[in-house]
Amino acid sequence: MNPIAESPITAGVNSPMLPHPHRVKRVRRETDDTFTLELEPLNGAANPASSPGQFNMLYVFGVGEVPVSISGDPTQAGLLVHTTRAVGTVTKAMVKLKRGDVLGVRGPFGSHWPVEESAGSDVVIVAGGIGLAPLRPVLFSVLANREAYGKVVLLYGTRTPADILFRRDLEAWRARFDLDVFVTVDRAMGGWRGNVGVVTTLIHRAPFDPLNSVAMVCGPEVMMRFTVKELNKRGIDFDSIHVSMERNMKCAIGFCGHCQYGPTFICKDGPVFRYDRIKPYFEGREI
């Protein structure tokens, strides 16, 4: 049997390599350098279901394709929501898109956060910077089924008050009595009355039972390394900590090898990993 002939790549319109055209419904500036895209499939086609933590490959025609986390509410079908930072050629072209423009979407790809598996436990969400985007669907999902979980805690750290993502969501979440939200910034001048300090400093203040908690962490790798250490110091085992990894993803289906991470591919086996399963690579260098 020829494995290539049988592979999904050659499966025509259902090929995971084929971008599906989507129309831009809205581009919303979140901060100075981050933005959210709301996309609808052309011709009323349905979006494939996605799980919190998964990503899509977004293709700006004539420019290029990049992986972007899904940041929308998974309980709201029909609208595809992505949040990213305008930092490279493709995302800088993406932020200039207007309502009605068309781009290509492949996906969803990758593993997801253990939302359903966390039922009955406290849920500790630790986000750094743009890392809040792939964790936002977790909050929507957990809050949609709030009674299934114990305490729910969001710890969010970012550079400055001006860099705080999803302000309206954070304000709404903070107003709830069944969710503890802690926000901190690394740097602040006058006028900021909130916390100052790195996100790891919030971990010992947060109310959760470390022996019955699932932690989900997303942010820059250095931030995640110290966060995992602090969570473990607080008593959460490594097998209850999940991290979302980022590497140079191209094909998104484990063929090209660009995102190889030890024996795994981030695009296919990740981006969400249980920490104990990648610990040796996470703690290694140049992987």
The 142-161 contact track toward other proteins, x by CB under 8 A, reads ---------------xxx--
Q: Which residues contact 72 (CB under 8 A, 6 or more apart)?
A: 38, 79, 80, 81, 82, 136, 137, 140
Q: Which is nearer to other proteins, 87 or 172 (CB)?
A: 87
Say whether residue 257 binds other proteins (CB under 8 A).
no
Position among 24, 97, 143, 198 found at the interface with other proteins (CB under 8 A): 198
Say whether residue 207 binds other proteins (CB under 8 A).
no
Token representation of residue 128: 């750094």
Number of residues that bind other proteins (CB under 8 A): 32
Q: Which is nearer to other proteins, 220 or 235 (CB)?
A: 220
| Secondary structure of residue 206 in the 3-state scheme | coil
Least Å distance, CB 128 to other proteins, is: 6
Say whether residue 71 binds other proteins (CB under 8 A).
no
Token pair 């494939």: residue: 48
Q: Are 147 and 218 in contact (CB under 8 A)?
A: no
Maximum distance among all Cα pairs of the chain, rounded to whole angstroms: 68
Q: How far apart are CA 54 and CA 249, in angstroms?
A: 13
Backbone φ and ψ for 48, nearest 5 degrees, come out as: -65, 145
Position among 222, 263, 285, 286 found at the interface with other proteins (CB under 8 A): 222
Q: How far apart are CA 234 and CA 209, in angstroms?
A: 9
Token pair 């492949």: residue: 106
Q: How far apart are CA 211 and CA 149, in angstroms?
A: 14
Say whether residue 226 binds other proteins (CB under 8 A).
yes
Q: Which is nearer to other proteins, 67 or 114 (CB)?
A: 67
Say whether residue 163 binds other proteins (CB under 8 A).
yes
- Site residues (CB under 8 A) for other proteins? 33, 85, 87, 128-130, 157-159, 163, 184, 186-190, 192-198, 200-201, 204-205, 219-220, 222-223, 226
